[in-house]
């Protein structure tokens, strides 16, 4: 039985930038959905800014990683792994091919499907991306000790 205590008292600063307003957030800071969403937006903000020089969005970075680690898999398999709809993965693969980062080749065993793999340029970009993501990760978890970072990952996965 979870109580979700209202905790009405603590008034927190809404946003220092637009006035010295103070808002009562009520039960929101006690709800995982709210706190999770806010944290995720903060982390993605830094991720997106960090990856602007490489022109990669979060989903694109994940897609390239998945293709690298699973060469020869189909679009359906990679899209399913990413949790995105198959139709929405088409444009992403189109861009990867246009930028010379990945290739589609018709599968020999099932000529309906595409075998995906990175190009050398795609592999090179991922090398740089992994350095960028390590710096991003350090910034995103700057407020946590390494044991706390691992504990956070474990708690998120246990949900």
Partner DNA sequence: TATTGTTATACTCTATAACTATA
Partner DNA sequence: TATAGTTATAGAGTATAACAATA
Shorter beta-carbon distance to DNA: residue 57 or 99 = 57
Within residues 30-89, the interface with DNA by CB under 7 A covers 57-59, 74-76, 79, 84-88
Cβ nearer to DNA, comparing 10 with 87: 87
List of residues 6+ apart from 140 with CB closer than 8 A: 42, 43, 46, 47
Taking the complex as a whole, how short is the minimal distance between the CB of residue 44 and its own copies, in angstroms?
Answer: 7
Minimal distance, residue 130 CB to its own copies, in Å: 7
Per residue, what are the HEC states of the chain? CCCCCCCCCCCEECCCCCCCCEECCCCHHHCHHHHHHHHHHHHHHHHHHHCCCCCCCHHHHHHHHHHHHCCCCCHHHHHHHHCCCHHHHHHHHHHHHHCCCEEEEECCCCCCCEEEEECHHHHHHHHHHHHHHHHHHHHHCCCCCHHHHHHHHHHHHHC
Decide if residue 114 touches DNA (CB under 7 A): yes
Among 93, 118, 129, 133, binds DNA (CB under 7 A): 93
Is residue 117 a contact residue for DNA (CB under 7 A)?
A: no
Query: Are 129 and 55 contacting, i.e. CB atoms less than 8 angstroms apart?
Result: no
Binding site for its own copies (CB under 8 A): 1-2, 4, 8, 14-15, 18-19, 21, 23-44, 47, 58, 62, 65-66, 68-70, 73, 76-78, 80-81, 83, 130, 133-134, 136-138, 140-144, 146, 148-149, 151-153, 155-159
Interface ranges with DNA (CB under 7 A): 19, 57-59, 74-76, 79, 84-88, 90, 93-94, 104, 110-114
């Amino acid at each position: 039985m979870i109580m979700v205590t209202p905790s009405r008292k603590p008034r927190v600063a809404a946003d220092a930038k637009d006035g010295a307003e103070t808002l009562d957030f009520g039960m929101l800071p006690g709800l995982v959905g709210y706190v999770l969403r806010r944290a995720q937006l903060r982390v993605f903000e830094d991720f997106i800014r960090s990856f602007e020089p490489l022109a990669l969005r979060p989903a694109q970075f994940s897609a390239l990683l998945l293709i690298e680690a699973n060469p020869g898999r189909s679009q359906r398999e990679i899209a399913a792994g990413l949790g995105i709809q198959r139709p929405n993965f088409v444009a992403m693969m189109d861009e990867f091919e246009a930028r010379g980062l990945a290739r589609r080749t018709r599968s020999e065993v099932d000529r309906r499907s595409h075998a995906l793999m990175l190009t050398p340029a795609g592999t090179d970009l991922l090398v740089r991306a992994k350095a960028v993501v390590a710096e991003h990760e350090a910034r995103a978890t700057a407020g946590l000790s390494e044991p706390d970072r691992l504990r956070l990952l474990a708690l998120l996965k246990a949900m």
